[in-house]
A and B are shown apart, each in its own frame.
Chain A
Amino acid sequence: MEKEQSEYGLNENRRKFLSKVSLGIGSLALGSLLIPDLFKGKSGEDALMEALPHFAPKAKRVIYLFQNGAPSQLETFDYKPLLNQQVGQELPDSIRAGQRLTGMTAGQSSFPLVGSFFKFNQYGESRAWISEAFPYTSKVVDDICIIKSMHTEAINHDPALTFFQTGAQVGNRPSMGAWLSYGLGSENSNLPSFCVLLSRGKGNGQGVYSKLWTNGFLDSVHQGVQFSASEDPVLYLKDPKGMNREDRRRMLDKLAELNNLNYETFGDPEIQAKVQQYEMAFRMQTAVPEVTDIKSEPDSIIKMYGPDCLIPGTYAANCLLARKLSENGVRFVQLYHQGWDAHDNLPNQMVGQAKDVDQASAALITDLKQRGLLDETLVIWGGEFGRTNYCQGKIQVDNYGRDHHPRAFSIWMAGGGVKSGMVYGETDEFGYNIVENPVHVHDFQATILHLMGIDHERLTYKHLGRRYRLTDVHGKVVKDILV
């Protein structure tokens, strides 16, 4: 009888069971396999939403190396010799064309151009220009696609970050990772499908906000799980001292027994859902440490990423961790590295920041490549906007600052169906406006979804009477950079 009932609760009623009780199990455990079932009946789910992905995906997973605070394109990938020739000269109005400025430089009476403190060289088959601050990145230039024509709408950090991650400058919308978790579920049923890793450099930091990895109106199971640098990578994961696996196992068995007794009286399928969640938690407790354990990594890996990768909470460590999570089926790994907001003292700050990220980012590419995973993993490197071609405050050749510049900036993408060894888009000789192939943030997002096999116009969720999309009502896939 009980058996029959439980069968009943789980199957007959699976729609409700999966959707209301535990999208958790749903998208985590059954993943895309059962997505159609998942998508029925759920409050905001769209009856229209068909099985995902919509078409054969190029990338199975994403690793997003977010450079938080906005690295200057002019000291990284956008080589503008003219600025060095015209140091101190005014930014021509014809170029600025009355663009709005942040409150920080709006008051400035003059806008003296300033060139890169760092030398540039050309690398790889694409002959891409890369600044000397990124020696390691220049070594993998033939594996990446540099986009020099990104542009965004926001001019301040918070809205710009939020825009990049959620498709809207304000409001509590689901972030990209949450959308993908909702759309594709997790490959590995014992790990969260969306993980977040934080680190900070010495440069001027701007903070990150949990709303950047929020599930918004999606089910909380799609929220990014923030990994911490402590020995307990996932919150509350570690069993307390004095309780080993067997002890925990025994406790869970007792719980299951008691819960099932209760189920006999109340017949509520949610009781069994609960039991299953405890089982999954138990599995996570072994899976996560297994995956995050860096001791098992060979020395050569330590050398590739740099010895910092052994210090939890560093960017290098996070890159290594990102690879491990990703190769174990985590759909979306989001890194944030703070410290790029160089309003002053840019050359010094740039040296430090570049040192933090250059080697490890390049290592991540090489590492994925040598495992044959780069083809199916999309790696993204970039900030929330760019920096002005003119100096903020007083100019010195070896010491200047740059203000926020949403009009044009550079990022790079690699693997997962993106053309390698490509430079896309072009800015004017002042590095101020885009003159060729502009890529808007929504286009960027549409492209990522496309690579993951999703039509960004069809990944929707109905909330408070309206169908929402990551790309709002915009976004065009940037076909030119696809393999």
Chain B
Amino acid sequence: MKLACFLSFCLITVVLSCNQKESKQLNLEIGEQISYNFHIRPILSDKCFACHGPDANKQEAGLRLDVEEAAYSALKESPGKFAIIPNDVNGSELYHRIVNTDPNELMPPPESNLSLTEEEIGLIKKWIEQGAKYEPHWAFVSPKKATLPKIKDEEWPRNEIDYFTLAKMNKLGLIPNDKAEKHELLKRVSLDLTGLPPTPEMISAFEKDNSPEAYEKALDKIINLPTFGEKMAVLWMDISRYSDSYGYQDDNIRTQWPYRDWVIHAFNKNIPYDQFITWQLAGDMLPNATKEQILATAFNRNHKYTEEGGVIPEEYRVEYVLDKSNTFSKGILGITMECAQCHDHKYDPISQKNFYEMFAFFNNTPEKGYEGDVSQSKPAKTPILWIEREDINELLSFINHQDTSKLMVSVMDELDTLRTTYILNRGLYDARTTPVSPNTPENIFPFPDNLPKNRLGLSQWTVDKNNPLTARVFVNLMWQEIFGVGIVKSTGDFGMQGDLPSHPELLDWLAVDFMENDWDVKRLLKKIMTSATYMQSSKVTKKHLNTDPDNVYLARSPRLRLPAENIRDLVLASSGLLVPEIGGPSVKPYQPEGLWEAATSGRGELKTYKQDQGEKLYRRGLYTFIKLTSPPPMPIIFDGSNRDQCEVNRGRTNTPLQALVMMNDPLVMEASRVLASQLTEKESEPETAIEEAFKRILCRAPNSKELDILSGYFEEELSRFSKDQSSADDLFKVGEYPIKEEKITPNTAAMMQVILAMYNLEEAITKI
């Protein structure tokens, strides 16, 4: 013992007087070969490029590390020294700087509030030792179909996707979950494709059908329902930042909804994605464009428009064009160009010039920056597409327009004479510098000479089979729709600061396959949904939580809370309240009092919230009226987009406010009430009624325990209401849906409470 103490004491002294930095041993659990793209660039990009990156105006010490030549060449400020000498760590100044203890030498400099972890340093060291090989950014190289990886269990895969996922699982020693129960599968499929729960009938039918192709059959049936378009539209409304008002202070009403009708229609008709994009970007410029093609271009007119008196028109016109280019790059190309608006991009090889060349494509519309204040407000702004009755009768039959009036929609158009675009210093509308002409960032994929330098050319460039981004980005979006997280987590940023694909080969395989099959969206979805990966159960084991808590490697199916719109849909559908009508103007369902009134400027049509009546109260969430300055609270509480700008992925939080909505939102209570009346009328036995409700809401039969608890609760409430009829009445009188009962019985009231409870179960609004 003594000895031990003594020795350790000696050691301390040794360390003290030692002036060598003790370099800690680090253990990298990453593979033998270090990859620039996967290991090194994320570090450099995050911690170094800000000062040693693409931004020509900010390359400290004249050093840039994002390109091989520059990084290898002699340091401008300390001749004879080199930032990186392949295979020679000690010769590489970069390494010395990142391990230095002297705050004045250390990189990144302390005052940048950035620092490298031991592991990051280790990676860089190893990378240099291995020759410091650079690679082009993965996302800027056109995807290739890789050969399917070798896997242990040849039995498991149902299609190509599974080879890629299983290979990864094997690497981590994960085994895929068992196949999900049939009812689980159907709920999953139905929610993913239509945003609606399957009816009990659908479930039992599916459960009875034991034929091998039962699943595919069900899939086909569901994917061809018209509700498919509605589900897909939700995503696209976020991307195209759809709203029913102009935003900004007076926030008056506008009618862009025919565009929404078109999007639903387009998805239902399964218009190929390349065409879908082409129309929205340049439908108006296609040879003798149809009104449908022009309507599609409303995509670029959904952003906010100011009607504030006294604005400076050009300031806002520029703002609008900026929004267009940002939406295009974020939503369709999956790169964020905003940064390049004010200066060269700090992380991606996109110069300010690139940005304004892109900007130029959208800068040639007859659009005005300001068309007068709210008192002159019209439901659309130039250029306007007028939709007459006959159009709707013929070509535009998908527009759900009940009355006879003409419709006006803001759409795109080109000026005959080209408007010169300038690089705007610091992005300021009045700080014009050098003129530029339309072009796309050469680093992503150079603009072919044979294409016209306008929006039409841009759309062709976008859907060109060699464009490295478009297909990847969309495939990734679809993956996100289904698995909750994209193969590339940062759906809107495939750039260097973005996340790396968890399954790069799979992403590329899907992208190429998607293009090879004429951008067929439904086919893509079926591909994914017929994979064994998709069909796993979502049970979570300790093993999972240990090795893969975030379920990156998909050894289980994710459990995901439904998006805001579909929560509403589920409540309406399961209670039978849902009005399945498709498309049409947005509706104003119940909303807590005073929200609009408190926030309004007191001007414009939308200063007070005039709630709708009757059927309009029971439309799907997709159709809820969105006033930008005061968006409907429920969707916002459930992480819905406020539609202020293009969004490609929503958060998925879990907050007390959400609990309050599910407990006290009149809609949920009304739904419980209506369903309760139905069931108590139909079923004399409470048990059976409860079971029925359970099937409708949770899409499965309750197990005995659950049934006990619920019936127990029923009994409690029953006795409570039998003692206290008035509470029963109070609770029951919720919502505008007519109450059938001439007298409210404790029975139905109790049933209502039980059903309300079911809606509040975690599982109810979760895709399992």
Q: Do chains A and B touch in the complex (CB under 8 A)?
A: yes
Interface size class of B (residues with CB under 8 A): 35 or more
Q: How far is the CA of A248 from the CA of B710 in the complex (A)?
A: 15
**Any A CB within 8 A of the CB of B540:** yes
- Return A291 CB to nearest CB of chain B, in Å: 15
Interface flags for B653-669 (1: CB within 8 Å of A; 0: not) read: 11111111101110001
**Any A CB within 8 A of the CB of B3:** no
Contact B115 A465 (CB under 8 A): no
Contact B308 A198 (CB under 8 A): no
- Taking CB atoms, residues of chain A closer than 8 Å to B731 are 240-243
**Any B CB within 8 A of the CB of A394:** no
**Any A CB within 8 A of the CB of B651:** yes
Contact A24 B653 (CB under 8 A): yes
Contact B113 A48 (CB under 8 A): yes
Q: How far is the CA of A285 from the CA of B661 in the complex (A)?
A: 12
Contact B251 A223 (CB under 8 A): no
- Taking CB atoms, residues of chain B closer than 8 Å to A285 are 660
**Any B CB within 8 A of the CB of A140:** no
In the complex, the chain A residue whose C-beta lies closest to that of B370 is: A103
- Return A399 CB to nearest CB of chain B, in Å: 20
Contact B655 A221 (CB under 8 A): yes
Interface flags for B629-654 (1: CB within 8 Å of A; 0: not) read: 11101001101001011000001111
In the complex, the chain A residue whose C-beta lies closest to that of B114 is: A48
Contact A267 B539 (CB under 8 A): yes
- Taking CB atoms, residues of chain A closer than 8 Å to B436 are none
- Return B706 CB to nearest CB of chain A, in Å: 6
- Taking CB atoms, residues of chain B closer than 8 Å to A269 are 540, 545
Interface flags for B609-637 (1: CB within 8 Å of A; 0: not) read: 00000000000000000001111010011
- Taking CB atoms, residues of chain B closer than 8 Å to A104 are 309-310
| Contact status of A48 and B313, CB under 8 A, knowing A207-B599, A219-B653, A274-B762 | no
Q: How far is the CA of A238 from the CA of B661 in the complex (A)?
A: 10
- Taking CB atoms, residues of chain B closer than 8 Å to A338 are 601-602
**Any B CB within 8 A of the CB of A158:** yes
| Residue of B595, B656, B660 most packed against chain A (CB within 10 A) | B656
Q: How far is the CA of A206 from the CA of B595 in the complex (A)?
A: 15
Contact A254 B757 (CB under 8 A): yes
- Return A173 CB to nearest CB of chain B, in Å: 10
| Residue of A234, A268, A404 most packed against chain B (CB within 10 A) | A268
**Any B CB within 8 A of the CB of A96:** no
Q: How far is the CA of A73 from the CA of B384 in the complex (A)?
A: 43
In the complex, the chain B residue whose C-beta lies closest to that of A272 is: B762
Contact A206 B663 (CB under 8 A): no
Contact A237 B654 (CB under 8 A): no
Contact B599 A198 (CB under 8 A): yes
| Contact status of A225 and B669, CB under 8 A, knowing A210-B642, A211-B642, A458-B113 | no
Contact B595 A226 (CB under 8 A): yes
Q: How far is the CA of A171 from the CA of B304 in the complex (A)?
A: 11
Checking A24, A100, A205, A262 against B601 with a beta-carbon cut-off of 8 angstroms, the contacting residue is A205
Q: How far is the CA of A457 from the CA of B111 in the complex (A)?
A: 10
- Taking CB atoms, residues of chain B closer than 8 Å to A172 are 642, 644-645
- Return A68 CB to nearest CB of chain B, in Å: 10
**263-277 of chain A: CB within 8 A of chain B:** 265-271, 273-275, 277
- Taking CB atoms, residues of chain B closer than 8 Å to A248 are 663
Interface size class of A (residues with CB under 8 A): 35 or more
**Any A CB within 8 A of the CB of B705:** yes
**Any A CB within 8 A of the CB of B286:** no
Checking B115, B628, B713 against A209 with a beta-carbon cut-off of 8 angstroms, the contacting residue is B628
**Any B CB within 8 A of the CB of A22:** yes
Q: How far is the CA of A403 from the CA of B753 in the complex (A)?
A: 57
- Taking CB atoms, residues of chain B closer than 8 Å to A106 are 312
- Taking CB atoms, residues of chain B closer than 8 Å to A24 are 653-656
Checking A5, A105, A251, A280 against B656 with a beta-carbon cut-off of 8 angstroms, the contacting residue is A280
Q: How far is the CA of A20 from the CA of B595 in the complex (A)?
A: 30
**Any B CB within 8 A of the CB of A259:** yes
**Any B CB within 8 A of the CB of A413:** no
- Taking CB atoms, residues of chain B closer than 8 Å to A404 are 310
| Contact status of A270 and B762, CB under 8 A, knowing A230-B594, A284-B656, A458-B113 | yes
In the complex, the chain B residue whose C-beta lies closest to that of A230 is: B593
**Any A CB within 8 A of the CB of B492:** yes
Contact A255 B760 (CB under 8 A): yes
**Any A CB within 8 A of the CB of B480:** no
| Contact status of A254 and B659, CB under 8 A, knowing A24-B653, A205-B601, A265-B539 | no
**Any A CB within 8 A of the CB of B600:** yes
Checking B310, B330, B498, B729 against A403 with a beta-carbon cut-off of 8 angstroms, the contacting residue is B310
- Return A317 CB to nearest CB of chain B, in Å: 13
Q: Which of A9-17, A77-85, A122-130, A352-360 contacts B (4 or more CB under 8 A)?
A: A9-17
Contact B655 A266 (CB under 8 A): no
**16-47 of chain A: CB within 8 A of chain B:** 16, 20-24, 28, 43, 47
| Contact status of A210 and B542, CB under 8 A, knowing A170-B319, A239-B664 | no
Contact B669 A240 (CB under 8 A): yes
Q: How far is the CA of A404 from the CA of B309 in the complex (A)?
A: 11
Contact A271 B762 (CB under 8 A): yes
A255-B761, A277-B655 known, 10 other contacts, Cβ within 8 Å:
A157-B249, A206-B308, A207-B603, A228-B593, A242-B730, A254-B757, A266-B538, A266-B768, A268-B559, A281-B663
A-B contact pairs, 20 of them (CB 8 A): A156-B311, A158-B249, A207-B602, A208-B598, A209-B247, A240-B669, A241-B730, A242-B726, A242-B728, A254-B709, A254-B713, A262-B762, A265-B539, A270-B762, A277-B655, A278-B659, A281-B659, A465-B490, A465-B498, A466-B339
Q: Which residues of B are at the interface with A, using a C-beta cutoff of 8 A?
A: 113-115, 117, 247-251, 306, 308-313, 319, 330, 336, 339, 346-348, 370, 489-490, 492-493, 495-498, 538-542, 545-546, 549-550, 559, 561, 592-595, 598-603, 628-631, 633, 636-637, 639, 642, 644-645, 651-661, 663-665, 669, 703, 705-706, 709-710, 712-713, 716, 720, 726-731, 734, 753, 756-757, 760-763, 768
CB-based closest 8 A-B pairs: A465-B497, A207-B601, A242-B730, A104-B310, A242-B727, A102-B310, A281-B659, A241-B730
Q: Which residues of A are at the interface with B, using a C-beta cutoff of 8 A?
A: 5, 8-9, 12-13, 15-16, 20-24, 28, 43, 47-48, 100, 102-106, 155-158, 170-172, 198, 200, 205-211, 214, 219-221, 223, 225-226, 228-230, 232, 234-243, 247-248, 250-251, 254-255, 257-259, 261-262, 265-271, 273-275, 277-278, 280-281, 284-285, 313, 338, 403-404, 457-458, 460, 464-466
